[in-house]
Amino acid sequence: MSRISNFILFILLAAGISISVNCGKQEDEAQDETAQKGAVLKDTAWFISALPSSIRLNPVSGQIIEDRPDIYKMRPLGNLLERNWVYDGDTVRLHAARGEYVSFQLVIGRVAEDTLKDIFVEITPFSMAGKSLEFDPELSLEWSVRVKNISRGYEKSSYGAGWYPDALIPFETIQAARRTGRLVYPLTLPDFRNRIDGQRYLLVWVDQFVPFEREKVPPGTYKSIVNVEVDGSIKKLPVVLKVWDFAVPSENRLTGNIQQSGFVRRLTEDRELELYQLFKRHRVIPTDPSYRPQYSVSRSGKLTIDWSDFDSRLKKYFTGEAFTGKYGYRGPGYGEPIEIFVLPFNCARDKASGGGWPDVGGAEDERKPANRAIYISAIRQVREHVLSMVDTDKIRLVVFQNGLDESYFPEAWDRMVYYGKLFKEYFPESAYRVDGGYSKEAMEVIREAIDYWCCHSVGYNMDTVEEYRKMGIKDWVYGPILYERRGNSGVGSSTFIDLELTNERVISWACWKYRTLTWCSWGIGSQWTPAWYSPETWKHVIRREDQATYFRSYNGNGQVVYAPGVVPSVNVICPSIRLKNMRDGVEEYEYFRLLTRLEGNTDRADAVVNRIINRPFGEQSLGNLDVWNHNPADWDAARIEVGELIEQALAR
């Protein structure tokens, strides 16, 4: 008997066992289950399995994409479809705190060459002692994108060309009309819309949110059943969820954020709300510095700001009302406001240009008395108006002037000092942020005028960071996490599809390790419309006099969501698997904070983190691919270890 035949028999037996365990007490129910069991055992056309949320499966070959001991120092993962650290061949076993999401992946595989048709997937609510969680499990179809060219500069660490599951299509857009006989998006294997030649595996992402309140979710073991139907034949997969007796805070304390100027503001108000709520559920903040109200300046130099559109769009995010039942929200951070808002201020890029907000001319004109007075008036008016809506204990108000972004010359440093001092004097509740890898020479000039230094990861050397911290500067970090070479620093995002999935999780753990205030990434939905069919979301042509023209492209860089209205019937913003892993990292950061508070020190949290994270960022990371543990099972085991430590600390 072939290996695949043995595997199919194993899966079918496991499915039969799960049915017998969950059969009812009444005789007729038992007979129905027995008949169903027999039907499953005779059916060798397809099977089901389950995978952790920390890895991806190639939908054609069945290869675990993260199983690459040829690239990294890691243990071979083996055949995870047979069994793995969340699936023992029979049952899926999960762990979660209250107030967070927990996930796994359902795999439907076909053995024969025939297309599997009429696929329906359902999952029962998790329940214990007859009481169900108030949040149902959330199912999403995994849509794969085809990488044709690796992300440039990652010749060693890219996982190469091929199909990568990434976009997640909510099932309500797929099976919503099943009961009426009219299918919105009929599921088949191969998926007739994803168009993957030779596809043998269909993947379904399963998310479960565990409510925050203990009275609603007492600690214990909750159970659910996944039901998979293919052309009238049914298989079942038991799922067990252990809920610990503690909660992840409702507030997002880390405040990891993704910035893209103009992206959120250009959405319709309905789409804007959809995006903000999606990110709130993932504990990540979308930031857009281009929310700039209309203004006018009279001949006498009086500045008047029109706040009507600004307030109409943003007030509900400042108060947290956008994340309540009034706007249909359920999930993490209920009623909590956005945790970071980038204020509307900007300045010209150079001496002659305009483009500031308010526009007071270029560098040669901005300090003239009349122009200075206009800018100060704007600062005062924005301060008065925004503070009337914002609780500064919950929302960080950030000044980021794109006109001075990554500016590495003395004239720019002088302007940073000028503007930074204006905000310290006239808007002390705000924090002035500069982005880039600034030298000690630059910091000596600007240190007294800035509050936040958002340091590019290539320049995030801890000896330098510690020196700047002594100056009273709080550090952020942004940019790629993995460095084959210094040239990888050419972008401000770490969201590569063809690199290790843990890439998105690392940054929150690294913030704990280095005591970084927060992280930032560039690009929410760069090229999010064509991304469904072409993952090369960041392309750039470089032409210099001293070298030949060359072309750079990166897969998924600057893009963590997919546009609505591209795939037929899919009219919602769809998250990526990479965004899910960002969320996991933020949740785990909260575990470390909670354990530290209970223990009274960071020793145990640090021990776990240091076992997983080595020394990413900065000079020591260049050319070093093993700056963190590349065994996904170790990451997931560390999370469970910290969860158990928290429970033990609470019991003492």
Q: What is the CATH number of the domain that holds 227?
A: 2.60.40.10
Q: What is the mean pLDDT of residues 145-166?
A: 96
Q: Assess whether the previous peptide bond of 358 is cis (omega < 30° from 0).
A: yes
Contact criterion met (CB below 8 Å) for 18 and 91: yes
Q: What is the mean pLDDT of residues 263-288?
A: 98
Bridge-based pairing of strands 303-306 and 294-297 is antiparallel
- Residue 437 domain-assigned (yes or no): yes
Q: What is the mean pLDDT of residues 614-623?
A: 93
In our burial notation (b when 16+ CB lie closer than 10 A, e otherwise), range 142-153 reads bbbbbbeebbbb
Q: Which two tokens stand for residue 613?
A: 């994270």
Structure confidence at residue 271 (pLDDT): 98
Give the whole-angstrom CA distance, residue 276 versus residue 282.
10
> Are residue 419 and residue 306 in the same domain, yes or no?
yes
> Are residue 73 and residue 115 in the same domain, yes or no?
yes
Structure confidence at residue 291 (pLDDT): 96
Contact criterion met (CB below 8 Å) for 259 and 340: no
Dihedral angle of Cα 304, 305, 308, 311, to the nearest 10 degrees: -150
Structure confidence at residue 427 (pLDDT): 98
> Are residue 326 and residue 205 in the same domain, yes or no?
no
| Nearest in space to 58 (alpha carbons), one of 196, 234, 222, 261 | 196
Instruction: State the pLDDT confidence band at 5, using cuts at 50, 70 and 90.
Output: very low
> Are residue 139 and residue 124 in the same domain, yes or no?
yes
> Are residue 313 and residue 354 in the same domain, yes or no?
yes
- Residue 212 domain-assigned (yes or no): yes
Dihedral angle of Cα 412, 418, 419, 423, to the nearest 10 degrees: 150
Domain final position from 422, 450, 478:
450
> Are residue 296 and residue 354 in the same domain, yes or no?
yes
> Are residue 331 and residue 256 in the same domain, yes or no?
yes
> Are residue 234 and residue 257 in the same domain, yes or no?
no
> Are residue 290 and residue 317 in the same domain, yes or no?
yes
Print the domain residue range for 185: 3-16+42-247
Give the whole-angstrom CA distance, residue 16 versus residue 235.
8
> Are residue 103 and residue 215 in the same domain, yes or no?
yes
Domain final position from 247, 281, 310:
247
Q: How many separate helices (H) and strands (E) can be counted in the chain?
A: 12, 26
- Residue 121 domain-assigned (yes or no): yes
Give this prediction's pTM. 0.91
In the predicted structure, residue 12 carries a pLDDT above the cut 70: no
- Residue 559 domain-assigned (yes or no): no
- Residue 579 domain-assigned (yes or no): no
Structure confidence at residue 10 (pLDDT): 38
Structure confidence at residue 41 (pLDDT): 27
> Are residue 234 and residue 254 in the same domain, yes or no?
no
- Residue 179 domain-assigned (yes or no): yes
> Which residues are within 8 A (CB) of 19 and not within 5 positions of it... i.e. 6 or more apart?
33, 36, 37, 40, 236
Structure confidence at residue 282 (pLDDT): 98
Structure confidence at residue 538 (pLDDT): 74
Q: What is the DSSP string of 52-70?
A: ETT--B-TTT--BTT--TT
Range of lowest pLDDT (13-17, 274-278, 457-461): 13-17
- Residue 321 domain-assigned (yes or no): yes
Domain final position from 247, 277, 302:
247
Instruction: State the pLDDT confidence band at 56, using cuts at 50, 70 and 90.
Output: very high
> Are residue 317 and residue 402 in the same domain, yes or no?
yes
Structure confidence at residue 351 (pLDDT): 74
Q: Which two tokens stand for residue 260?
A: 């893209």
Count the domains in the chain: 2
Contact criterion met (CB below 8 Å) for 363 and 279: no
Beta-sheet strands, E only, within 75-137: 92-98, 101-110, 116-123, 127-128, 131-132
Structure confidence at residue 2 (pLDDT): 42
Calculate the average pLDDT of the chain: 90
Structure confidence at residue 81 (pLDDT): 97
CA 27 to chain centre: 48
If DSSP codes are grouped into helix, strand and coil, which group holds residue 479? Answer: coil
Give the whole-angstrom CA distance, residue 221 versus residue 244.
9
- Residue 262 domain-assigned (yes or no): yes
CB atoms within 10 A of CB 554: 31
